[in-house]
Amino acid sequence: MRRKSNDVKAHVEKFFVLLKNYPDSTDSALVFVRFLRSFLRGCSQPEILPTIEIMTLLKEHKPIAFHSMRKLSERDDLLAFLTGLSMSPQEAENKLQAIYESREYKTKKSS
């Protein structure tokens, strides 16, 4: 279980690096799509993946890239599903920051 939590942390770290280093442009959309596919493949069950949090911050911090992803989603059901996910940006930031800083990360949904 420890290894899987580390996988999630590594992907969250990579996501923060991508947010910082790639501009908010249509060209960046493909970088984020590749990341999402890698993220979903690289992390396996029973881990609860912070997918909603990632999509929320992507929409919040890279709106042009996110809009381009929505256009791409017309031909990709998985991407259409992912771009439809959202939550409170502050809550998403807090959850991802907790994973990034290695604070306790629950692998089960809280009630």
| pLDDT computed for residue 2 by the predictor | 44
pTM: 0.82
Spans of the chain, pLDDT less than 70: 1-5, 43-47, 103-111
Determine the Cα–Cα distance for residues 19 and 29; give it in Å rounded to an integer: 11
| pLDDT computed for residue 109 by the predictor | 42
| pLDDT computed for residue 111 by the predictor | 37
| 3 CB burial (10 A radius; 0-12, 13-18, 19+) | exposed
| pLDDT computed for residue 110 by the predictor | 42
